[in-house]
Chain A
Amino acid sequence: MTVRSPFVPAALMAAVLLWTSSFAHADDLKSISLLAEQGQPGAALERLNSYMNVHPGDVQGQFLKGVLLAESGKSADAIKVFSDLTSKHPELPEPYNNLAVLYADQGQYEKARRALEMAIKTHPSYATAHENLGDVYARMATDAYDKALQLDKNNPRAQTKLAMVKELFTGSVRPAQVAAKTEPVAQPPVRVAPSAAPSPAPNVSEPVRPVPAAVTPPPVPPSPPVAVPEPAKPIPAPVVDAAKDGKDRGATESVRATEKPAGADGVKALEETVRNWAKAWSAKNVDGYLAFYGAGFKVPGGEKRSVWEKSRQERIKAPASIRVELSDIRVKMQDDNHATVNFRQSYRAGDVAKRTNKSLVMKKSGSKWYIEQELTDR
């Protein structure tokens, strides 16, 4: 089986279908989407509604409903369906993607962008690949600008380093919970793809372009942890070359192994805290941001807390916009009330873009986690 074989998706789909519901369900949905294909979206929607009455909460059914609604021009209803899906199944990239398309259609590009970013974030490897792709484009753009403007090349310019994915996500545990065994070493300038991409995706996705509405395939069923996200942008070729089919299959099979490790709740709460911290920072919500720092926070450089808070306030207020994104979050629990959270932080404010590895030493106080120490790896 070659990676580009057109039979792969069918085979996978069959495998995945086995998973969620009976063949009967799948057949129902298949015939419904066939109906829609034959130009009877109204009839298809009617049948789907009665199907949903029997199988409420069926993800495939809901997804198909969203698609049918969108196809019949009922964008608002379709958005409702897909939004609902994203909140119930944030691990699925497809509803996010479809939301983005609908938002874009309405000219709500900010929302569309956020939705697409969420879709990409469903898999940290792809999020990294996506960011790396962006950085490669940025470097190519810089070269082009140099040729246009003959800018002084001796003038050193801050160039974001591309990030390497250092772990193979086999899919047996949630990526965010994979503990990093090795600390980041020197970053080579070129991103190296994991030799076994976790995605069983058979081929590199093409650049998005309009294609007449075609088959309505059943979407991936809800299977935590999710395995088959696909990037919205083309993956560099090496990923494909490296995706040997044996490992591919391994990745698919591993979808079944889904056991939550112990202490998952604490891990989850910590992850959420750290993400909310980044969110407050991105929103330039200074008070909210500072509230994440505990009473015992070790101010860097031994400064006074008030001085540090003031400088943080100034730094956060100055740029017109800030985007802080975290990836590769790893939580290390010392005990029930102490933990360290490591992650990659991507910071953008205007033209300034910085990538750093960070560690937050966290302490639980009451029911909440607070930052005790903020360390940046250099």
Chain B
Amino acid sequence: MNKRSIRLIQGICLVALMAAGAVFARWDATAFDFGRFGFGYSSRPAPRMPAIPTDTEGLLVKSLLEITQGKTHAALDTLDEVLRLAPNFKLAHLVRGDLLMARARELSGFGGAPDAPQEAISDFREEARVRLERYLTQQNEQAAPDYLWQLDPSQQHVILVDSSRSRLYLYRNENGKPRYVADYYVTVGKNGTEKWKEGDKRTPLGLYFTGTQLSPKKLPDFYGSAAYPLSYPNEWDRRQGKNGHGIWLHGTPSDTYSRPPRASDGCVVMTNPDLKALAPVLQAGNTPVVITHGVPAGTPEELAAQKEALLRAMEGWRQAWETQNTDRYLDYYSRDFFSQDRNFESWAQEKRRIQAVGTKANVQLSNVSIFRYPDDKQQMVVVNFDQQYKSNNLNNQMRKRQYWILEGKRWKILYEGAA
């Protein structure tokens, strides 16, 4: 009968809240301000729960939210489900450990294992934070229009990695515009981004393209189920004197579901199941991968104006070339211009020599793709296009790449070469 009296009491108050509120008051999985997103502790009348998918990560997030709401029993059940799907999900094991420990004794905080190395705990806290934030902010395609200005028909998919969110976003090409498909948790370099030199354990920021999948048979277990090399260092990286190599997109070791947000030697690391889901895209090869840290500065209006100006500049450059107006043509090139073997002066000299003949030419650009280049210091874009050059004595078609840079209010060509 005292059993029933217990029930009666439970009607008065949520005993579960005591367990959760008391024990987890100091348990901040993520130091995350739930209040900002309109829900959290049960004092709020109708918590707005974001739609959470029932995949491994979605369930983990669900369990974390359940903890903040005091539903520790439900959270434990949810975690069991997570671990059924991903038995090697260490973050899930850690949170489960905390939930169990909280029943045994007072928890000192997140990752209450008595002899846990603090670095490992803060790694897990970060992973929990970025995974949770992904679902709370629901900003999964925000950066796309800022970086992926225009896609060409050969690019069926584009990948954008935002290291500030530890997230990889996959977009489909829909009439030249990126359309969000999915996003995944990723690990980047232990020391963050802006790779500069070999061994600095940083992930490069820039535009890269995937190469042919490395032979799985020769791939050590550490790299997981697959590995795709990225084209680091690119033209701009080399120009700046950046070095190092072997930046890959790869999986996790077989005993590890996911690694902390910052843990790799510079590679972008995904879970093996996520990498498998992405395999059809990656195996097609030459997929553009923009690696950024956050979104570019500037309002959407400013960015739109920049894009307009760029398109006008490209057309002006094409016309100047077609009409063989060398002064106007060279005016589209930056004084800092570089190509594989020339600087501005040698490039200008060569062009003046050729164009002095004064043969009219026909220049057509097609299959144009435009990517904003993630660079804090300057406004830069990379354009790729098929170039058809026809004149009396030459008929040439090639795939070209140009880096354009905003100088004052004018876009100028910083680099030009074969793509």
User: A residues touching B (Cβ–Cβ < 8 Å)?
Assistant: 9, 12-13, 16, 63, 67, 70-71, 93-94, 97-98, 100-102, 104-105, 107, 109, 112-113, 133-138, 140-145, 147-151, 155, 157, 201, 203, 205, 207-220, 228-230, 232-233, 348, 351, 353
Contact = CB atoms under 8 A, between A and B. Distances in A.
Contacts of A100: 18
Which of A12, A101, A150 is the most central at the interface, judged by chain B CB atoms within 10 Å of its CB?
Answer: A101
Interface in B76-102: 90-94, 96-101
Given A13-B1, A94-B5, A102-B12, 20 more contacts: A101-B10, A101-B18, A109-B22, A112-B18, A133-B103, A141-B99, A141-B100, A144-B100, A148-B90, A149-B90, A149-B94, A155-B115, A208-B10, A210-B13, A210-B14, A213-B11, A214-B11, A216-B8, A220-B1, A351-B114
Contacts of A112: 18, 22
Interface string B1-36: 111111111111111111101100000000000000
B100 A213 contact: no
A97 B5 contact: yes
Contact of B101 (A13, A138, A211): A138
Contacts of B22: 104, 109, 112-113
Contacts of B2: 93-94, 97, 219-220, 228-230
Task: Summarize B's interface: helix, strand, loop or mixed.
Answer: helix
A215 B6 CA distance: 11
A66 to B, nearest CB: 10
B73 interface: yes
B1 A217 contact: yes
B120 interface: yes
B113 interface: yes
A12 B1 CA distance: 8
A219 B5 contact: yes
Contacts of B13: 101-102, 104-105, 210
B371 interface: no
B124 interface: yes
Contacts of B73: 207, 209
Interface of B: 1-19, 21-22, 73, 90-94, 96-101, 103-105, 108, 111-117, 120, 124
B21 A210 contact: no
Contacts, number: 165
Contacts of A93: 2
A210 B15 contact: yes
Nearest first, the 10 closest Cβ-Cβ pairs linking A and B are: A213-B11, A144-B97, A109-B22, A148-B94, A138-B104, A104-B18, A145-B113, A141-B100, A141-B101, A148-B93
A214 B97 contact: no
A149 B8 CA distance: 42
Which of A63, A67, A141, A155 is the most central at the interface, judged by chain B CB atoms within 10 Å of its CB?
Answer: A141
A157 B115 contact: yes
Contacts of B117: 149
27 contacts: A63-B5, A67-B9, A70-B12, A94-B6, A101-B9, A101-B15, A104-B17, A104-B21, A109-B18, A134-B105, A135-B104, A137-B104, A138-B101, A141-B104, A144-B97, A145-B94, A149-B120, A151-B113, A157-B114, A209-B10, A209-B15, A209-B73, A211-B7, A211-B11, A214-B11, A215-B4, A228-B2
B6 A208 contact: yes
Nearest to B72: A207
Which of A97, A100, A145 is the most central at the interface, judged by chain B CB atoms within 10 Å of its CB?
Answer: A145
A11 B263 CA distance: 63
A219 B1 contact: yes
B126 to A, nearest CB: 14
A128 to B, nearest CB: 15
B3 A201 contact: yes
A138 B90 contact: no
Contacts of B105: 134, 138, 348, 353
A97 B9 contact: yes
B15 A214 contact: no
A19 to B, nearest CB: 13
Contacts of B120: 149
Contact of A104 (B11, B15, B101, B115): B15
Contacts of A16: 1
Nearest to A73: B12
Contact of A137 (B8, B10, B93, B101): B101
Nearest to B91: A148
Which of A70, A211, A233 is the most central at the interface, judged by chain B CB atoms within 10 Å of its CB?
Answer: A211
B100 A215 contact: no
B1 A144 contact: no
A72 to B, nearest CB: 10
A105 B115 CA distance: 34
Which of B5, B13, B22, B92 is the most central at the interface, judged by chain A CB atoms within 10 Å of its CB?
Answer: B5
Nearest to B19: A208
B354 to A, nearest CB: 64
Nearest to A351: B114
